[in-house]
Amino acid sequence: MTLRPGDVAKLLLFWQKGAGAPAQEDFVVALQDRKGQNLWEHNLRVTGGTFPLASWREGEVVRDIQLLFLPATLPPGTYRLVLRAQGWAQGKAVTLEQIRIAP
């Protein structure tokens, strides 16, 4: 995917409540360079907080659209878009996609 600084990207996520799943609803999405350094971070809440995890049935799959407002100062390059639970160590991030930022 190719974006430009200042773009708004639509992120489509699917969440599923598992048996005994922790009530984690706050996450961080970030763009990381090849060294794993975050160039940009954004806090997100599952479904924007409109459908709390406590309301989900076990096994239910929930579709979630998040808007990501990229900063106009983001330097061109290729980055990993990663997602991690808020409060987790940076090494626990899951790569969602590779993003190219064009000049």
Q: Where are the domains of the chain?
A: 2-101
Buried b (16+ CB within 10 A) or exposed e, 5-24: eeeeeebebebebeeeeeee
pLDDT value at position 68? Answer: 96
The one-digit pLDDT tens for each residue of the chain (103 residues) are 899 999 999 999 999 988 876 678 899 999 999 999 999 999 999 999 999 888 899 999 999 999 999 999 999 999 999 999 887 655 588 999 999 999 9
pLDDT value at position 9? Answer: 95
pLDDT value at position 91? Answer: 54
pLDDT value at position 78? Answer: 97
Q: Domain 2-101 adopts which CATH fold?
A: Immunoglobulin-like (2.60.40)
